[in-house]
Chains A and B, each alone.
Chain A
Amino acid sequence: MRLPGCFNLRGWRGLVAVVALGVAAPAARACAVCRPQVDATVYDAAYTTRLALVTLPVLLLVAGAVGLLVADAWRRPTYRRSVASSAPAADGIEPDAA
């Protein structure tokens, strides 16, 4: 049986059909019945709590990594001196003079 031309997915018509399907499919999957239930379950009163719980391991790792970088920079005397010497001295004594 020969299919109509619109079902022939070769060539540029096929490319257009695949792209059109990709554009239309998400709308087709967001069915009118289940989508409101999904939205109501995702965006309920516990949303912020769940967001915090889901991202907690990542946040801890990033905080630890940033802490290590800051600690390494702070341990290096030049960094400490440059920060200290950039601040205005309240007593008129230069930090490097100590």
Chain B
Amino acid sequence: MVSNQMLPDARRPTRVPLIVAGVLLGAGLGGFVDGIVLHQILQWHNLLSARLPPDTLVRAKVNMYWDGVFYAAVWLMTALGLRLLWAAGARPDVPWSGQTLVGALLLGWGVFNVVEGVIDHHLLALHHVREYAPDKLPWDAAFLAFGAALTFGGGWLIRAARSGAESKQP
């Protein structure tokens, strides 16, 4: 049974559920940007293009399959983020802030780029940003730098939203 003395703590505002939902949504949307723009439209790489170069129809179709698995995973992450956003919206102890949400979206996109870049491009070498460029490293580094900029920008927006909310309090 919940103690009545502790109820005020339960109502203490927390932004974490909104931030987590935004981070997952931003990471999912960032994953879709990666896949749609870099895989399909620009055709700079596929998910396994460093391991299995798509130089024949069969290999291209196999890369399409693994791109599809990537999309499925990213779709699930986006759906989970949407579910958590819905749950956060129903909680009275979660302040509803557009600035916090936008910051979390940018943070999620940036964290996704950094994690995906470090793991897939550098550690596992599943693919590189520009698979068919003679020097792949500058493109991979630029991708990481873009992710880091999004991460810092998102974090700054989230922090600014918190100080803005505190300054509005009487």
Identify which of residues 32-51 in chain B touch chain A, using a CB-to-CB cut-off of 8 Å. 47-48
Q: Is the CB of A53 within 8 A of B124?
A: yes
Q: Is the CB of A61 within 8 A of B14?
A: no
Is A9 among interface residues, defined by CB-CB distance under 8 A?
A: no
Main secondary structure of the interface of B (DSSP, over half): helix
Identify which of residues 1-40 in chain A touch chain B, using a CB-to-CB cut-off of 8 Å. 34, 37-38
The residues of B with any CB-CB pair to A shorter than 8 Å are: 1-3, 6-7, 9-10, 12, 14, 16-17, 19-20, 23-24, 27, 31, 47-48, 52, 57-59, 61-62, 65-66, 69-70, 73-74, 76-77, 80, 84, 108, 111-112, 115-116, 119-120, 124, 126
Q: CB-CB < 8 A to B62: which residues of A?
A: 38, 41-42
Q: CB-CB < 8 A to B120: which residues of A?
A: 57
If A34-B61, A38-B61, A61-B27 touch, does A72 touch B69 (CB 8 Å cutoff)? no
Q: Is the CB of B115 within 8 A of A78?
A: no
Q: Is the CB of A34 within 8 A of B58?
A: yes
Q: Is the CB of B2 within 8 A of A56?
A: no
Q: Is the CB of B14 within 8 A of A78?
A: no
Q: Other than A38-B62, A61-B24, give 6 A-B pairs with Cβ distance below 8 A.
A: A38-B65, A41-B52, A53-B124, A54-B69, A62-B24, A62-B80
Q: Is the CB of B66 within 8 A of A61?
A: no
